[in-house]
Amino acid sequence: ENGATMDIQATRTETDTAGQLSIAETMLQNNYNALVLSPLTNECLDTAVATAKDAGIPIVNANCEYIADADVFVGGLQIEIGHKAADYIAEKIGEKGKVAILEGVSGTFTSIQRVNGFNEQIANYPDIEVVASVPGDYEMEKGMNVATDILTQNDDIDAIYCCNDNMALGAVEALRNAGKLGDVVVIGVDGTGDAYKSIHAGELTATVDQFPDTNGRVAVEVALRLLGGQEIPRVVSTPIEVVDEENAADFDK
C-alpha cells in the first residue's frame, strides 16, 4: 500500500542464534532501507545492528527480545504477560495450590521477564506455591519432557505456566500421557494457531496472545514512518490478552 517491498527470513528453530546472525548479515549486504528484527536473544544480532546503525539504516525491534540500539521497540510488555498469566491461574485454581513454571531459553530477556512477572504477581497469592521452575527452551518436545519430570515429582500439581505455546502443548502431551489431561491448568504464551486449536479441543486451558499479526503490521508501519522522517516513541506497545475457551472465538486465527 505504501509502495514498499519486503523480504522475510527466519531461522528454523528458536535457538539458532548463529543462523539468525548470518541472515541479518546477508540482509545488510542487500542494502535494505530499513530492518525489522525479532532477535532470538538480546545480544545475538549486536554486530549486525552496529553495522546497520553506522550505515544509518532504521532498526525496528519487533516482538520479544530487546535490542539496546534499536530505534523503536514494537511489542507487548513481557513482564505484563507474566502478571496476566499469574492472575489467570490464581483465579482458575481458587487462589491456592501448587504451580510449576516452564521457562524459555535460560538467560534470555523474554524468558526472564515472563518468569519474573509471573513470580511478582503470584506472590500476591500466599496460598499458591511455585514448586518448580525449569527451562524448556521454547521447544515442544523439551517442554513435554520437563513437564513429565515435574509431574513425576509433584503428582498433586494444580497448574503449569509455560513461557510459550510450544512448551504448553508439550505439557498438554505430558498430562495426556499421565492420565491427568483436564485436571491441571496449562497456560502458554504467544497465541499460536496450534494453541487455539488445542483450546477449542478442550486441552490447553489458555494462552496469553500477543497478536503477532498486529505486532507485525505495526512494526512495518513504524519502519515506514521512520523512513519518512517521523519521530516515533522509543516503545510502541501492542495488545496482550488472555485467551481461553470463553473468548477464543473472538480472536480466532
Q: Note the pLDDT tens digit of each residue in 79-133.
A: 999 999 999 999 999 999 999 999 998 888 889 999 999 999 999 999 999 999 9
- Supply the pLDDT for residue 197: 97
- SS (HEC) of the chain: CCCCCCCCCCCCCCCCHHHHHHHHHHHHHCCCCCEEECCCCCCCCHHHHHHHHHCCCCEEEECCCCCCCCCEEEECCHHHHHHHHHHHHHHHCCCCEEEEEEECCCCCHHHHHHHHHHHHHHCCCCCEEEEEEEECCCCHHHHHHHHHHHHHHCCCCCEEEECCHHHHHHHHHHHHHCCCCCCCEEEEEECCHHHHHHHHCCCCCEEEECCHHHHHHHHHHHHHHHHCCCCCCCEEECCCEEEECCCHHHHCC
Instruction: For the chain, list residues with pLDDT below 70.
Output: 253
* Gap between the terminal Cα atoms of the chain: 23
- Supply the pLDDT for residue 108: 85
Q: How far apart are CA 73 and CA 67, in angstroms?
A: 8
- Supply the pLDDT for residue 253: 64
Quickly count: other Cβ atoms within 10 Å of residue 3's Cβ: 5
Check: pTM over 0.75? Answer yes or no: yes
Beta partners for residue 73, in sequence order = 61, 235
Sheet holding 206-209, edge to edge: 128-135, 97-103, 159-162, 185-190, 206-209, 241-244
